[in-house]
């Protein structure tokens, strides 16, 4: 009997019933067949040798398809497990999924130490097993058989996983001497794997629960070609060069001191300059957008946080209260600005005509983050939020939300962030009791967020159950040099605090109404934003932001006076310039300026000082030739404007 197979290009081919994807690939070309890792039949990823029993849409998956890679790495996880079992008999296995780059396997080595020194041995074993070209065999099992197998093996983790599975849906996969509980699918055989690298080991709680046993998570990556592994490792090294912790030190932007304390960054002059430019930039945009700047203290009485509810929720895990000579008095370092802003709202009666009220503050807050969570500037214990709270009527939520999105997009555009995702965090529909506020108001605000995001055409992902307990939110996520995602801009709707602080406004109906509060921070925090900015631009800041926009390099000390004259002139035009007066040759000064990432270099010698010109060199681009000062400043100011994305 014949069936029709529709390929992605729309072409339809006839095959006999029971044909496998691999057969189809072979019928197209042998070269293609050699690269087929798995297949997508009617949207479901399956083994390439799975018989196709009826008309179907077929996509052959190779290394170039995300699903092909995932299958390859999933199979590689089984290969890793096989190697580990061979080298460490008795190892128990948790789960071993593919991830964005590679895969991991959670293992329990029964206390046998496993570290970087052991990696090579495991890699060698993996490669040895690949040479056996063992096929991955799918073996359906009854639940009873499956339980018996892992009881015999003594693997309590797999037994626990089995408990959650339905009889009749259980499959084992076996390759070589290794058999694993697995839904599949897998690549045809281990021979496809040509290069393997164990990347690192880490502790990971079984089933992500910190109360349960900590397993050893082995991270690894494999490739179908040795060269691809080499390329990957090279890229990884390159990415590390953009690490904000490394560049922050090299460019003298910020530092940490053991004596000051963990997670408490010190901003050095150049970093502070940069940060100040960013603050001025946003303050200006916020004034235009109708925000009112406010200033509040760094501490607040404990009662403020009892009212807000934060004391109950976070009090124990925060910096502990500050005491005064009065025994009953306690103050907390502020972990957020919202309660203070609520009190500003309450300083006078508000009318519906006053809303929205947008209170903005660059507020420094302190949170006692778990020590293991601290990470450069992206996760610190003292940081400054570019915070604002918008108090508005319920019917204004959507419009305000949309305006905030516009502001965030303006910030991102001005700073060259093009690669971001907007994560919409909604409440868990299965567990509504975790959240406060009525269904009606949640539904309204969730749909307001979803609609605003859609209208603005944001690239979104939606996460159920990720909402804050007081309201849904939208976070702008940007990746760092190593691909880790960080939340930068955030917009959150809050029904809780207006309630707790008993905020009111008088409506057109002369009745009291509850305002809605929107928390928002386009940068998120100055610290994290600058960290991600450094990594995204690799330390080559947009010209408008660069702490040192240009350096003047006199050819010899004879031209020092002219260099200073140029500097003075540029400074009157608000150009941040310095002169390299060192007794070094010009080649050396240029090299140091290039390494120091100065956007522009002005070289001045005999010729320039006589003709009142400068020889312009741009970072990374080389010599641009000579210009007179006026021409240069014209060019420079248009370059500044261009760097702002205008």
Catalytic residues: 338, 367, 385, 387, 389, 473, 519
Sites for RNA among residues 442-461 (CB under 7 A): none
Q: Which of 351, 556, 630, 634 binds RNA (CB under 7 A)?
A: 556
The string of DSSP letters for 186-239 reads: --SBGGG--EEEEEEEEEEEGGG-TTS-EEEEEEEEEESSHHHHHHHHHHHHHH
Nearer to RNA, 210 or 440 (CB): 210
Nearer to RNA, 6 or 462 (CB): 462
Cα–Cα distance for residue pair 639/172, rounded to 1 Å: 62
Nearer to RNA, 99 or 139 (CB): 99
Nearer to RNA, 482 or 641 (CB): 482
Cβ 318 to RNA, closest distance in Å? 5
Treating both helix axes as pointing N-terminal to C-terminal, what angle do 156-163 and 143-153 enclose, rounded to 10 degrees? 160
Cβ 567 to RNA, closest distance in Å? 16
**CA trace torsion 218, 223, 226, 229 (10° rounding):** -60
Sites for RNA among residues 199-218 (CB under 7 A): 200-205, 208-210, 214, 216-217
Cα–Cα distance for residue pair 197/180, rounded to 1 Å: 21
Q: Which of 154, 261, 293, 465 binds RNA (CB under 7 A)?
A: 261
Sites for RNA among residues 86-115 (CB under 7 A): 113, 115
Sites for RNA among residues 463-502 (CB under 7 A): 468, 482, 484
Sites for RNA among residues 113-172 (CB under 7 A): 113, 115-116
Q: Which of 169, 438, 583, 646 binds RNA (CB under 7 A)?
A: 583
Cβ 602 to RNA, closest distance in Å? 9
| 36 burial level (CB within 10 Å; 0-12, 13-18, 19+) | buried
Counting contacts by CB under 7 A, is residue 622 touching RNA?
yes
Cα–Cα distance for residue pair 126/113, rounded to 1 Å: 19
How distant, in Å, are the alpha carbons of 256, 540, 542, 545 from that of 533? 19, 10, 10, 11
Counting contacts by CB under 7 A, is residue 181 touching RNA?
no
Counting contacts by CB under 7 A, is residue 241 touching RNA?
no
Counting contacts by CB under 7 A, is residue 623 touching RNA?
yes
Sites for RNA among residues 515-554 (CB under 7 A): 519
Residue 184's region, left for phi above 0, alpha for psi from -120 to 50, else beta, is left
Cβ 338 to RNA, closest distance in Å? 6
> Of 23-31, 270-278, 308-316, 404-412, which part binds RNA (CB under 7 A)?
308-316
Sequence-ordered alpha helix ranges (H) in 504-628: 526-537, 560-572, 586-595, 606-611
| CA angle, residues 634, 635, 641, in degrees to nearest 5 | 90
Sites for RNA among residues 378-397 (CB under 7 A): 379
Here's the x/- map for RNA, 397-426, by CB under 7 A: it reads as: ------------------------------
Nearer to RNA, 179 or 385 (CB): 385
Counting contacts by CB under 7 A, is residue 507 touching RNA?
no
Sites for RNA among residues 584-603 (CB under 7 A): 584-588, 590-591, 594-595, 601, 603
Cα–Cα distance for residue pair 604/563, rounded to 1 Å: 7
Sites for RNA among residues 358-377 (CB under 7 A): 367-376
DSSP, collapsed to helix, strand or coil, labels residue 249 as helix
Nearer to RNA, 336 or 545 (CB): 336
Beta bridge partners of 383: 365
Counting contacts by CB under 7 A, is residue 43 touching RNA?
no
Here's the x/- map for RNA, 312-351, by CB under 7 A: it reads as: -xx--xx----------------xx-x-------------
Residues 6 or more apart in contact with residue 65 via CB below 8 angstroms: 59
Nearer to RNA, 256 or 401 (CB): 256
CA atoms within 13 A on the CB side of 508: 3
Nearer to RNA, 202 or 464 (CB): 202
The string of DSSP letters for 264-326 reads: --EE-HHHHHHHHHHHHHHHHHHHHTT-EE----SEEEHHHHHHHSHHHHHGGGSPPPEE-SS
Nearer to RNA, 42 or 431 (CB): 431
What are phi and psi for residue 178, nearest 5 degrees?
-120, 135
Cβ 246 to RNA, closest distance in Å? 7
Q: How many residues bind RNA (CB under 7 A)?
A: 76
> Which residue in 343, 330, 322 sits closest to 301, CA to CA?
330
Cβ 482 to RNA, closest distance in Å? 6
Counting contacts by CB under 7 A, is residue 245 touching RNA?
yes
38-41/19-20 β-pairing = unpaired
Residues 6 or more apart in contact with residue 163 via CB below 8 angstroms: none
Q: Under a CB-based contact definition with an 8 Å cutoff, are residues 248 and 527 in contact?
A: no
Which contacts of 284-292 are long-range, i.e. CB under 8 A and separated by 24 or more positions?
Answer: 285/407, 285/410, 285/411, 286/358, 286/360, 286/388, 286/407, 289/358, 289/403, 289/407, 290/356, 290/358, 291/358, 291/359, 291/360, 291/388, 292/357, 292/358, 292/359, 292/360
Cβ 243 to RNA, closest distance in Å? 7
Nearer to RNA, 186 or 473 (CB): 473
Cβ 35 to RNA, closest distance in Å? 30
Cβ 560 to RNA, closest distance in Å? 9
Nearer to RNA, 256 or 632 (CB): 256
> Of 29-37, 223-231, 260-268, 509-517, which part binds RNA (CB under 7 A)?
260-268
Cβ 17 to RNA, closest distance in Å? 44
Q: Which of 555, 577, 627, 640 binds RNA (CB under 7 A)?
A: 555
Residues 6 or more apart in contact with residue 465 via CB below 8 angstroms: 426, 427, 428, 430, 431
């Amino acid at each position: 009997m014949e069936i029709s197979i529709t390929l992605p290009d729309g072409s339809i081919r006839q095959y006999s019933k029971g044909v496998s994807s691999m057969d189809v690939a072979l019928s197209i070309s042998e070269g293609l067949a050699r690269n087929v890792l798995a297949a997508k039949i009617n949207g479901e990823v399956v083994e390439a040798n799975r018989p196709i029993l009826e008309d179907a849409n077929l996509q052959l998956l190779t290394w170039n398809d995300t699903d092909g890679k995932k299958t390859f790495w999933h199979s590689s996880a089984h290969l890793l497990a096989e190697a580990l079992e061979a080298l460490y008999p008795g190892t128990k296995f948790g789960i071993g999924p593919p991830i964005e780059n590679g895969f991991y396997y959670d293992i329990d080595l029964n206390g046998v130490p496993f570290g970087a020194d052991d990696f090579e041995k495991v890699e060698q074993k993996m490669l040895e097993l690949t040479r056996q070209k063992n096929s991955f065999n799918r073996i359906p099992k009854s639940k009873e058989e499956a339980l018996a197998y892992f009881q015999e093996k003594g693997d309590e983790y797999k037994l626990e996983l089995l408990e959650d599975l339905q009889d009749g849906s259980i499959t084992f996969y076996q390759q070589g001497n290794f058999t694993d509980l697995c839904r599949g699918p897998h690549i045809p055989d281990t021979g496809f794997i040509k290069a393997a690298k164990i990347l690192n080991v880490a502790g990971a709680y079984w089933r992500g629960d910190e109360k349960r046993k900590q397993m050893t998570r082995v991270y690894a990556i494999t490739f179908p070609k040795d060269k691809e592994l080499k390329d990957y490792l090279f890229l990884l090294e390159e990415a590390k060069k953009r690490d904000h912790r490394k560049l922050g030190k090299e460019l003298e932007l910020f530092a940490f001191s053991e004596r000051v304390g963990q997670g408490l960054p010190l901003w050095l002059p150049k970093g502070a300059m940069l940060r100040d430019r960013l603050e001025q930039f946003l303050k200006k945009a916020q004034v235009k957008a109708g925000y009112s700047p406010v200033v509040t203290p760094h501490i607040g009485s404990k009662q403020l946080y009892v009212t807000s509810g934060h004391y109950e929720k976070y009090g124990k895990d925060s910096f502990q209260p500050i005491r005064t000579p009065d025994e009953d008095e306690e103050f907390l370092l502020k972990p957020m600005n919202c309660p203070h802003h609520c009190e500003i709202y309450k300083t006078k009666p508000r009318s519906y005509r006053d809303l929205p009220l947008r209170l903005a503050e660059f507020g420094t807050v302190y949170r006692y983050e778990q020590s293991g969570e601290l990470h450069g500037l992206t996760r610190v214990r003292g940081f400054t939020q570019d915070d604002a709270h918008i108090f508005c009527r319920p019917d204004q939520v959507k419009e305000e939300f949309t305006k905030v999105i516009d502001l965030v997009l303006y910030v991102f555009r001005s700073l060259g962030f093009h690669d971001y995702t907007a994560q919409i965090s909604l409440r868990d529909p299965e567990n509504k009791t975790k959240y406060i506020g009525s269904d009606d108001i949640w539904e309204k605000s969730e749909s307001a967020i979803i609609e605003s995001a859609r209208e603005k055409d944001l690239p979104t992902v939606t996460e159920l159950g990720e909402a804050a307990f007081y309201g849904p939110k939208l976070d702008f996520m940007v990746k760092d040099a190593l691909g880790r995602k960080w939340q930068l801009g955030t917009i959150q709707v809050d029904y809780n605090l207006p309630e707790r602080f008993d905020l009111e406004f008088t409506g057109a109906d002369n009745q009291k109404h509850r305002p809605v509060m929107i928390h928002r921070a386009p940068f998120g925090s100055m610290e994290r934003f600058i960290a991600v900015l450094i990594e995204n631009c690799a330390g080559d800041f947009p010209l408008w932001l660069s702490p040192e926009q240009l350096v003047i390099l006199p050819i010899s000390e004879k031209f020092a006076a002219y260099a200073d004259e140029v500097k003075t002139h540029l400074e009157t035009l608000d150009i941040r310039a310095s002169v390299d007066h060192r007794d070094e040759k010009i080649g050396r000064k240029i090299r140091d300026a290039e390494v120091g990432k100065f956007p522009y270099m002005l070289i001045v010698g005999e010729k320039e000082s006589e003709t009142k010109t400068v020889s312009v060199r741009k970072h990374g681009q080389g010599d641009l030739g000579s210009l007179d000062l006026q021409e240069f400043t014209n060019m420079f100011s248009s370059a500044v404007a261009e760097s702002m994305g205008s």
